């Protein structure tokens, strides 16, 4: 297969992933289609150095967010707000975990992620994941998450999607939690899904 054809296939695959992600975020797919469209197999490393896969999402409700530890605004704000969500939910938050997946494997080593997630202002039940560039890319594609390195040198940034996915205790997609929703509404949506049970397909 020629390079031109391979490049075209890659562009079409990226376009399909972006369109699917937009459809999910806008809610234009039916519940079953949305649940099937987001998530999938991945293998990453957590902040303790242990290799984990998609089963890390099972058994608890999971708020899955893609970001990076050098992120100046969106990432810490999202994690600060998820800590507030835990507070607002009280005992119900015991079945909720926040999963931070790095899209900056170049700088976000296990040690860097471990130090980052120790922030006392972040959620109490916070899992930090990183991996090789290939592993991170595979996970991002499974969740239709856009990210791209911006700039050069040690202080480069990473442009990335800012939304959070709520996944059920079965590891299945439930709904999108937009960045600008606010802790009160995020908590309300998660509690709505919890009332529907582990087979919830919306919130």
The rounded distance, in Å, linking the Cα atoms of 145 and 163 is 9
Which residues, listed in sequence order, are joined to residue 44 by a DSSP beta bridge? 52
Is 160 marked as binding a ligand? Answer: yes
Q: Which residues, in sequence order, are CB contacts of 158 under 8 Å at separation 6+?
A: 68, 70, 71, 103, 104, 147, 148, 149, 150
DSSP letters for 146-190: -EEEESSSTT-EEEE---EEEE-TBS-EEEEE-TTS-HHHHHHHH
Distance CA 173, CA 186 (A): 15
Binding residues for Cu cation are: 71, 75, 160
Binding residues are: 71, 75, 160
């Amino acid at each position: 297969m020629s390079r031109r054809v391979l490049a075209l296939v890659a562009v079409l695959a990226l376009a399909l992933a972006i369109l699917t992600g937009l459809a999910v975020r806008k809610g234009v797919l039916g519940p079953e289609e949305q649940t099937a469209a987001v998530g999938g197999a991945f293998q990453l490393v957590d902040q303790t150095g242990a290799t984990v896969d998609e089963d890390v999402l099972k058994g608890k409700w999971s708020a899955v967010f893609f970001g990076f530890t050098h992120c100046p605004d969106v990432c810490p704000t999202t994690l600060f707000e998820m800590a507030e969500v835990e507070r607002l939910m009280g005992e119900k938050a015991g079945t909720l975990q926040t999963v931070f997946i790095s899209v900056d494997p170049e700088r976000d080593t296990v040690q860097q992620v471990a130090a980052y997630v120790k922030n006392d202002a972040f959620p109490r039940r916070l899992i930090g994941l990183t991996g090789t560039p290939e592993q991170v890319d595979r996970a991002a594609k499974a969740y239709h998450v856009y990210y791209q390195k911006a700039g050069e040198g040690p202080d480069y940034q990473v442009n990335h999607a800012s939304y959070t996915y709520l996944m059920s205790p079965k590891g299945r997609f439930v709904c999108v939690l937009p960045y600008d929703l606010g802790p009160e509404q995020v908590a309300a949506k998660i509690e709505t899904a919890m009332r529907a049970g582990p087979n919830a397909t919306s919130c």
